[in-house]
Amino acid sequence: MAVQLLRTTLLLAIVCISYVSAISVSGSRVLVVLDPSLKQEDYAVFLSDLDSRGLDLSIKSANDPHLGLFEFGERTYDHVFLTQPPTQKALGPNLLAKPLLDFAKAGGNIVIVLNSNEHALASVREFAVQLDVVLPFRDTKLVDHFMYDEQASPLLHDALILDPQTLLAPHIVAAPEDVAAKLYYPGGSAFALGNNPLIVPVLAAPETAYIYDPAEETLSSDSPFATGKQAFLVASLQTRSNSRITFVASNLLFSDEAFSKPNSFNRAFATELTKWTFSEKSVLKLESVSHRLLEDTNTTENPSIYRVKNDIAYEVSLSQFEDGSWFPYTADDVQLEFTMLDPYYRLTLSPTHKTSTAQFYATTFTAPDQHGMFSFVLEYFRPGLTFIKDKRVVTVRHFGHNEFARSFAIPNAWPYVSSIVVVAGAWVVFVGLWLFTGENSAKKTV
């Protein structure tokens, strides 16, 4: 009986684990570093949304002595949600720039939420600068005299109402179908972005907004930190190893108050943004890669050698992770490069057939008339989607001595070939004449 109970419990545990791990491709352990200044009940809806998705939340304070991103060199969490204290104090040695970078390098995902009052600490600022995200100066404010929230800040103009139709990254957060939906930005600053191609801006400030320093620019803004659409409220970054990092300019964006405003899109925005960052959506996987000679369907797949001017068929299949399972990923911009130092071909693959989990793409081409070591390179780097890179090296050999056109097929060679035939024939005739003609010696001797 006890054994049976144990077995059932184990089975249940396994089912639970497999269910939980299917939420995100990287795992479900989330560390929420909640600063004591932020009350958990002000963010109850956001946190319960995370919890109800099956994520395993550990809500801790930065002062917690047991807080650590690594244990014995292994990640202790899969994702980190990091808020900032309102005053300038350190987050502790475990959340410095280096541990955070190491965490991202080890495949962990990070959401960094700046405090609406003070914004960023030196350690977080250092971390951001390494990723080409320039956080604002202390105490700066984002204001817009055109699109402010008339109820929330009639005079200071620092609470903004944004149009979610202007969202910049459809693979991260798609614009809502409801055009009346509004995104409430209840105050805070914004940051500037460098020219790093890995950065995907998600939400930019309106054209007329600007960031000013209330302490320095009391009367007029003469040296704004950033203006207009060059100031960003939310931006994401995906490293080349597919770790995801998101910067959010204000913690108030996720507050219950912002969620409960009329026509608020904030809740869906927070859900989609954390889903993306925690690798729960827009995750791609290369299911299969194959290449072979076009005319010869019986040859083994992926041979290591081809000849120049061979016709080659190439096929890949891609899957996309969404809501806990894999689906076919269909696009019209998947490209194959056939390279030796430089690409000799760059071909857009066309979708062919699909299975329940994967979409197949194929193309055919003629190997270039250049022998050497070539690679089939599939590099699918698109903002907001997992970076996919596959490289297969093959030899392309030149023609064998018996693979060139024969001389009888070349008109230029016909005079030469006929000369040889005539000489050989004439020689045989000559030998015949030499052997079998002459004066008949028998008659003479008689």
Binding to other proteins (CB under 8 A) within 411-430 occurs at 411-412, 414-415, 417-419, 422-426, 428-430
Decide whether 7 or 389 has the Cβ nearer to other proteins.
Answer: 389
Write out the binding residues for other proteins, residues 255-314 only, by CB under 8 A. Answer: 309
Q: Are strands 183-185 and 160-162 parallel, antiparallel or unpaired?
A: antiparallel
- φ, ψ of residue 37 to 5 degrees: the values are -70, -20
Contact status: 151 vs other proteins (CB under 8 A): no
One-character DSSP codes across 285-329: EEEEEEEEESS-TTSPSS-SEEETT-EEEEEEEEEEEETTEEEE-
Q: What is d(CA 268, CA 275) in angstroms, rounded to the nearest whole number?
A: 10
Contact status: 157 vs other proteins (CB under 8 A): yes
Decide whether 1 or 435 has the Cβ nearer to other proteins.
Answer: 435
CB of 193: closest distance to other proteins in angstroms?
11
Closest CA to 29 of 72, 61, 75: 75
CB of 387: closest distance to other proteins in angstroms?
8
Decide whether 18 or 445 has the Cβ nearer to other proteins.
Answer: 445
Per-residue mark of binding to other proteins, 367-386 (x: CB under 8 A): -xx-----------xxx---
Binding window for other proteins (CB under 8 A); candidates: 74-82, 141-149, 252-260, 296-304: 141-149
Write out the binding residues for other proteins, residues 65-94 only, by CB under 8 A. Answer: none
Member of 345, 360, 361, 376 binding other proteins (CB under 8 A): 345
Amino acid of residue 442? A
Judged by CB under 8 A, how many residues of this single chain contact other proteins? 72
Provide the 10 A C-beta neighbour count for residue 381. 13
Q: What is d(CA 85, CA 61) in angstroms, rounded to the nearest whole number?
A: 10
Closest CA to 389 of 406, 399, 377: 377
Decide whether 212 or 329 has the Cβ nearer to other proteins.
Answer: 212
Contact status: 155 vs other proteins (CB under 8 A): yes
Decide whether 143 or 173 has the Cβ nearer to other proteins.
Answer: 143
Q: Are strands 244-248 and 232-238 parallel, antiparallel or unpaired?
A: antiparallel
Binding window for other proteins (CB under 8 A); candidates: 279-287, 296-304, 392-400, 405-413: 405-413
Contact status: 442 vs other proteins (CB under 8 A): yes
Decide whether 98 or 346 has the Cβ nearer to other proteins.
Answer: 346
Identify the DSSP state of 232.
E
Per-residue mark of binding to other proteins, 195-214 (x: CB under 8 A): x-x---------xx-x-x--
Q: How far is CA 56 from the centre of its chain?
A: 25
Cα distance between the two ends of the chain = 128
CB of 398: closest distance to other proteins in angstroms?
13
- Is-contact 167 202, C-beta < 8 A? yes
Contact status: 351 vs other proteins (CB under 8 A): no
Decide whether 301 or 311 has the Cβ nearer to other proteins.
Answer: 311
Contact status: 439 vs other proteins (CB under 8 A): yes
Amino acid of residue 216? E
Q: Is the backbone of residue 100 left (phi > 0), alpha (psi -120 to 50) or beta?
A: alpha
Amino acid of residue 50? L
